[in-house]
Amino acid sequence: MKELKFIDLKQCILDDNGHVADEVRELARQKKFFLWNIMSSPGAGKTTFILDVIRRLKGEFRIGVIEGDIESTVDAQKMQALDVPTVQLRIGGDCHLDAAMIKKALENLPLDELNIVIIENIGNLVCPAEFDLGANLPSMLLSVPEGDDKALKYPLMFSVCKALIVTKIDCLPLFDFDMEALKINTRRLNDDLQIFPVSAKTGEGMDEFIAMLKQLIANNLQLL
Amino acid sequence: MKELKFIDLKQCILDDNGHVADEVRELARQKKFFLWNIMSSPGAGKTTFILDVIRRLKGEFRIGVIEGDIESTVDAQKMQALDVPTVQLRIGGDCHLDAAMIKKALENLPLDELNIVIIENIGNLVCPAEFDLGANLPSMLLSVPEGDDKALKYPLMFSVCKALIVTKIDCLPLFDFDMEALKINTRRLNDDLQIFPVSAKTGEGMDEFIAMLKQLIANNLQLL
């Protein structure tokens, strides 16, 4: 009897993606820019958060944005209004960005002029976690209204990120959200995950986050 | 030169899924149960909403639950605490339920004793929309904190649903959520979509939703 050949298509896709992610990493090293991947559920506040970060960093760094969006261009237009070079990836029915899309997007950004490239990933806590984009900082947002139990349900996302930004903390009085429970649940999965509670509405926590980010960018650009 | 053969793997998967969805529909017709698929982002409030619905319908209907969850069993345990037959589908890294999983789950429920089977889908606004599960009522939750622009970004989800339950409306004063904008955005995609604003915290809107649901179930069971 002949040997049964089993091709794990998904693993092939992930392996291929890993190779392209390495190319992206090498490009970031050569061109000396800091690549930051931001993931979250739909509606966790990625766009609002990114716009706030851009306003705070604009004087010091030259920033570019890659916008992942299934259909619309509303977010990309908001970025352009801040006068930052923006590439919109319109990916139709797909549920995540992959490294090849990022490589393509980077070809369309003026990399020699940029220090930071921010990727706004598709709103989804599942598939984006599987695809290494070659980023220096893989990170995620979790909004208070989503609940403190999400690490139990989407463990891979919490495992692959280096920073967890907890958004909409001005809503804490309205929701049964236990920050300590979140910390315990995430620490089980990922000891290195740094947690930053913030509110775009009140500005609370943003100074601390920006200070960490600047330090991280400085360290990375030095290493590059 | 030979013709290049192009196999659209995704379309093959969706076609196969459609056939199994038809089998599920036929099973529901034969066994006379109402199959209700509930989709949403992570943290939109599916579990809380379903628990509330079960409490309100328990006296009148015999209910079973299929729980989709990537890793944990926390939601399934809450359902079992209400003494309803529950099947937990632990699907690992996958980002949606498909009709074959539902068929399998239904084999493990006492269908002859049930009038309603509720499916809690994976928290994701993208992929679950592509997979017909053979449900009588495909529906989605959108929570106020997610924002009123989600139909622009996840159009397929809003197109395939027959009911849109807007949750956490007790938070409306805290968020820039424009219910009229939501209605305009969804009507473009799906003229038949009925919208139900509710709050699990205050109970607002639940009576109206339950009345519609009972009518729908009665009509369906009559037709079956």
HEC assignment per residue over B8-21: CHHHHHHHHHHHHH
Residues in chain B within 8 Å Cβ distance of A174: 170-171, 174
Look at residue B223 and tell me whether its pLDDT is greater than 60: no
- Give the mean model confidence (pLDDT) for residues B62-67: 95
Q: Do A153 and B123 touch (CB under 8 A)?
A: yes
**Prediction pTM value:** 0.86
Q: What is the pLDDT of residue A4?
A: 57
Q: What is the three-class DSSP state of A84?
A: coil
Q: Do B42 and A125 touch (CB under 8 A)?
A: yes
- Give the mean model confidence (pLDDT) for residues B26-44: 96
Residue B63: both structure tokens together: 């209910």
| Average model confidence (pLDDT) across chain A | 91
Q: Which CATH class is domain B9-223?
A: alpha beta
Q: What is the pLDDT of residue A8?
A: 67
Give the pLDDT confidence of B133-167 residue by residue, as tens digits. 999 999 999 999 999 999 998 999 999 999 999 99
Candidates A131, A121, A116; CA nearest to A89 is A121
Boundaries of every domain in chain A: 17-223
Residues of chain A with pLDDT under 50: 224
Cα(A206)–Cα(A211) distance, integer angstroms: 8
User: What is the band of B8 on the pLDDT scale with cuts at 50, 70, 90?
Assistant: low
Q: Do A69 and B153 touch (CB under 8 A)?
A: yes
Give the pLDDT confidence of A117-164 residue by residue, as tens digits. 999 999 999 999 999 999 999 999 999 999 999 999 899 999 999 999
Residues in chain A within 8 Å Cβ distance of B143: 43, 145
Please count the helices (runs of H) and the strands (runs of E) in chain A.
8, 7
Q: Do A74 and B149 touch (CB under 8 A)?
A: yes
* Element of type H or E holding A88: strand A86-90
Q: What is the three-class DSSP state of A121?
A: strand
Q: What is the pLDDT of residue A129?
A: 95
Secondary structure letter of residue B115 according to DSSP: S
Whether B172 has its CB under 8 Å from any CB of chain A: the answer is: no
Look at residue B219 and tell me whether its pLDDT is greater than 90: no
**Chain B, nearest residue to A168 by Cα:** B145
Residues in chain B within 8 Å Cβ distance of A125: 42, 123-124
Q: Do A123 and B153 touch (CB under 8 A)?
A: yes
Q: What angle do CA B116, B121, B7 make, to 5 degrees?
A: 115
Residue B217: both structure tokens together: 């179930």
The minimal CB distance from A145 to the residues B126, B145, B154 is found for: B145
Candidates B92, B106, B95; CA nearest to B134 is B106
Q: What is the pLDDT of residue B76?
A: 82
User: What is the band of B24 on the pLDDT scale with cuts at 50, 70, 90?
Assistant: very high
Q: Which of residues 60-89 of B touch A (CB under 8 A)?
A: 69-72, 74
Name the amino acid, one letter, at A59: G
Q: Which CATH class is domain A17-223?
A: alpha beta
Secondary structure letter of residue B2 according to DSSP: P
Whether A159 has its CB under 8 Å from any CB of chain B: the answer is: no
Whether B224 has its CB under 8 Å from any CB of chain A: the answer is: no
Q: What is the pLDDT of residue A143?
A: 97
Q: Which of residues 128-157 of A touch B (CB under 8 A)?
A: 130, 143-147, 149-150, 152-156
